[in-house]
Amino acid sequence: MSDRQSIHGQWSSRWTFILAATGAAVGLGNIWKFPYLTGQNGGSAFVLVYILCVAALGIPLMMAEILLGRRGRSTPIRSMQILAEETNTTQWWQIVGWSGTLAGMLILSYYSVIGGWTLAYIFKSAGGTFSGASGQFAAETFSNFVGSGTTLSIWHTIFMVLTMGVVAGGVKGGLERAIQFLMPTLFFLLLLMVAYSMTTGFFGKGLEFLFTPDFSKLTGASMLTAMGQAFFSLSLGMGTIMIYGSYVPK
Output the DSSP codes for 27-96. Answer: SHIIIIIHHHHHHHTTTHHHHHHHHHHIIIIIHHHHHHHHHHHHHH-S-HHHHHHHHHHHTT--GGGHHH
pLDDT at 158: 97
Amino acid at 107: I
Residue 138 pLDDT more than 80?
Answer: yes
pLDDT at 235: 85
Report the candidate in 63, 82, 55 with the shortest Cα–Cα distance to residue 71: 82
SS3 (DSSP) at 117: helix
Residue 30 banded pLDDT, cuts 50, 70, 90: confident
Residue 144 banded pLDDT, cuts 50, 70, 90: very high
Residue 7 banded pLDDT, cuts 50, 70, 90: low
What mean pLDDT comes out for the span 9-21? 87
Q: What is the mean pLDDT of the chain?
A: 89
pLDDT at 27: 73
Residue 132 banded pLDDT, cuts 50, 70, 90: confident
SS3 (DSSP) at 219: coil
Q: Is residue 239 within 8 Å of residue 1, measured between CB atoms?
A: no
- % of the chain residues with pLDDT over 70: 97
Provide the whole-model pTM: 0.83
Residue 160 pLDDT more than 90?
Answer: yes
> How far apart, in Å, are the Cα atoms of 201 and each of 18, 40, 196, 204?
36, 22, 10, 8
Q: Which residues of 135-170 are buried (b: 16+ CB within 10 A; e: fewer)?
A: eeeeeeeeeeeeeeeeebeebbeebeeebeebeeee
> Based on C-alpha coordinates, what's the Rg of the chain?
20
Distance CA 68, CA 78 (A): 11
User: Tens of pLDDT along 66-116?
Assistant: 999 999 989 899 999 999 999 999 989 999 999 999 998 998 998 999 999
pLDDT at 131: 87
- Report which of residues 9 and 161 the model is more confident about: 161
Residue 192 pLDDT more than 80?
Answer: yes
Ordered alpha helix ranges (H), the chain: 14-25, 28, 34-40, 44-53, 59-72, 76-86, 94-126, 135-146, 149-168, 170, 177-197, 203-211, 220-233, 240-246
Q: What are phi and psi of 65, to 5 degrees?
A: -65, -40
